[in-house]
Chains A and B, each alone.
Chain A
Amino acid sequence: MSPSKKREACTVPKVRVATTSLAGCFGCHMSFLDMDERIVGLLEHVEFSRSPINDIKHCEPCDIGLIEGALCNADNVHVLKEFRENCKILIAVGACAINGGVPAMRNNFTLAECLEEAFLDEIGVDNPQIPNDVEIPLLLSKVHPIHEVVKVDYYLPGCPPPADAFVKILTDLLEGKEPSLPKDMLHYD
């Protein structure tokens, strides 16, 4: 690239992307990073707002928000709403965000049963008590996919979605195209 072209490229405003993990395992973020050296090329067009990969505490007005994980507690709901208010395009990433995923298996039990098992009845529990500090967000009675609380623009299935799928959906959006996923990148597991 010639020096003049390079300067020109720098003046084009970058697309702002925010990411977060709600009731996620961070696996979708790891899969995102699995794009390996392609992230260098991506960073020429994209800059990150709030994300676990930086120190920004709140989501700023953004073009794209990537949400990993389902909703399992009150804080998840607040964060999700902050993302929805600030992101033009919100993408549900991974099985959890889409249908609750494996964490939604706790919906087969009552919340009390889950807490009692983990904090009172489990073998090796010292000083059994259910945590009850205002600092700790309360759990929701059930785990929910994110589309049950906010409008979702696109879905990226997989547990996690393949790195190529992240590249594909972001490339499509950067090029102003409607994102589409080829059949070989579509899986739910």
Chain B
Amino acid sequence: MSAKMITIDGTEVPFEAGQTIMDAALAADIYIPHLCHKPGLSPHGSCKLCTVDVDGRAVSACTLPAAEGQKIENNTPALNEVRKTITQMLFVEGNHLCPSCEKSGDCTLQAVGYHLGMLDGHFPQFYPRRAVDASHPTLMLDRDRCIMCELCVRASREIDGKDVFAISGRGTGRQLIVNSATGKLADSDIETDDLAAHICPVGAILIKDHGYEVPIGRRTFDLHSVAETDLEEIILKKTVHHDQDDESVEKEGGMYSA
């Protein structure tokens, strides 16, 4: 039986049962902009950047299962314009003052802004005033930069097995909280080596005493666009996957199969 196919921007893309549109696109090296998605973690569907048109309906590519014969529009001016608006909303909702952020140049939100040609925030600034948590000896939390993608929540719960983070509150009052008795990072189990400590796509979770270490011009997104970097990451994982012995492949498979 021939492989099942979907069509993304006119290109035929094969998929396996259980794969989402995002999974199939990434496997075929097609970039669909996204912030809250990471292969190996359960899909989230909060950032809405991966919105694509499937047979005329707007859906999130990271959550919709691929199905035989879907005609998907992804890289169109109209969709990218909507994505730019979403990115602008994320920027004005927080305090994204890139000139003073140690994640600048390594920030996926910023790189998505560049990718979409975003020049300004368009909307009035919220200027939120959310608490910084610098209680932990090696990590800190700047909640004004948090985009509530919940990558740290999922990484901590699904990979680290610690359940350190959660999102609390409603509407614009939502914010990242720490599941410790005091609500402080210092009183949680998080450690610098945890995936949750490194997965933040913006400058909300930071490793203390490490900042401004990479010269301008050599940071991640100075060298590569977000599309290239994202696909490279996948290609790297495939290579690692391929090179490992059976035992670790099994482990890896467990981590990265959704």
6 contacts between A and B (CB under 8 A): A101-B97, A107-B95, A155-B120, A157-B120, A159-B99, A183-B117
B51 at the interface (CB under 8 A from A): no
Are B129 and A107 closer than 8 Å at their CB atoms? yes
A181 at the interface (CB under 8 A from B): yes
A155 contacts which chain B residues (CB < 8 A)? Answer: 119-120
Q: Which residue of B lies closest to A106 (CB)?
A: B127
B182 at the interface (CB under 8 A from A): no
State in angstroms the CA–CA spacing of A186 and B144 once bound together.
23
Q: Which residue of B lies closest to A187 (CB)?
A: B114
CB distance from A8 to the nearest CB of B (A): 37
Are A145 and B125 closer than 8 Å at their CB atoms? yes
Are B117 and A99 closer than 8 Å at their CB atoms? no
Q: Which residue of B lies closest to A100 (CB)?
A: B125
A170 at the interface (CB under 8 A from B): no
B92 at the interface (CB under 8 A from A): yes
A189 at the interface (CB under 8 A from B): yes
Interface size classification for chain A = 20 to 34
Q: Which residue of B lies closest to A144 (CB)?
A: B125
Among B91, B101, B117, B119, chain A packs the most CB atoms within 10 A around the CB of: B119
- Residues of A130-180 contacting chain B, CB below 8 A: 142, 144-145, 147-148, 152, 154-157, 159
Are A99 and B129 closer than 8 Å at their CB atoms? no
State in angstroms the CA–CA spacing of A188 and B107 once bound together.
11
A186 contacts which chain B residues (CB < 8 A)? Answer: 114, 117, 119
A92 at the interface (CB under 8 A from B): yes
Are B99 and A188 closer than 8 Å at their CB atoms? yes
A89 at the interface (CB under 8 A from B): no
A1 contacts which chain B residues (CB < 8 A)? Answer: none
CB distance from A25 to the nearest CB of B (A): 10
B121 at the interface (CB under 8 A from A): yes
Are B99 and A157 closer than 8 Å at their CB atoms? no
Are B95 and A102 closer than 8 Å at their CB atoms? no
CB distance from A99 to the nearest CB of B (A): 5
B98 at the interface (CB under 8 A from A): yes
B121 contacts which chain A residues (CB < 8 A)? Answer: 98-99, 145
- Residues of A80-133 contacting chain B, CB below 8 A: 92, 95, 98-102, 104-105, 107-108
A100 contacts which chain B residues (CB < 8 A)? Answer: 97, 125, 127
Among B91, B97, B113, B119, the residue within 8 A (CB) of A104 is B97
A-B contact count (CB 8 A): 74
- Residues of B70-97 contacting chain A, CB below 8 A: 91-92, 95-97
State in angstroms the CA–CA spacing of A186 and B95 once bound together.
19
Are A189 and B99 closer than 8 Å at their CB atoms? yes
State in angstroms the CA–CA spacing of A189 and B122 once bound together.
18
Q: Nearest 4 CB-CB pairs, A to B?
A: A159-B99, A188-B98, A155-B120, A155-B119
Are A105 and B119 closer than 8 Å at their CB atoms? no
B122 contacts which chain A residues (CB < 8 A)? Answer: 147
State in angstroms the CA–CA spacing of A102 and B110 once bound together.
16
B100 contacts which chain A residues (CB < 8 A)? Answer: 102, 105
B124 at the interface (CB under 8 A from A): yes
B105 at the interface (CB under 8 A from A): yes
State in angstroms the CA–CA spacing of A187 and B98 once bound together.
9
A148 contacts which chain B residues (CB < 8 A)? Answer: 124-125
B110 contacts which chain A residues (CB < 8 A)? Answer: 188-189
State in angstroms the CA–CA spacing of A90 and B104 once bound together.
28
**Given known A-B contacts A92-B120, A99-B121, A155-B119, A142 and B97 have beta carbons under 8 A apart:** no
Among B104, B144, B225, the residue within 8 A (CB) of A188 is B104
B97 contacts which chain A residues (CB < 8 A)? Answer: 95, 99-102, 104-105
Q: Which residue of A lies closest to B225 (CB)?
A: A183
Are A98 and B99 closer than 8 Å at their CB atoms? no
Among A92, A108, A181, the residue within 8 A (CB) of B129 is A108
- Residues of B112-142 contacting chain A, CB below 8 A: 113-114, 117, 119-122, 124-125, 127, 129
Among B104, B114, B117, B127, chain A packs the most CB atoms within 10 A around the CB of: B127
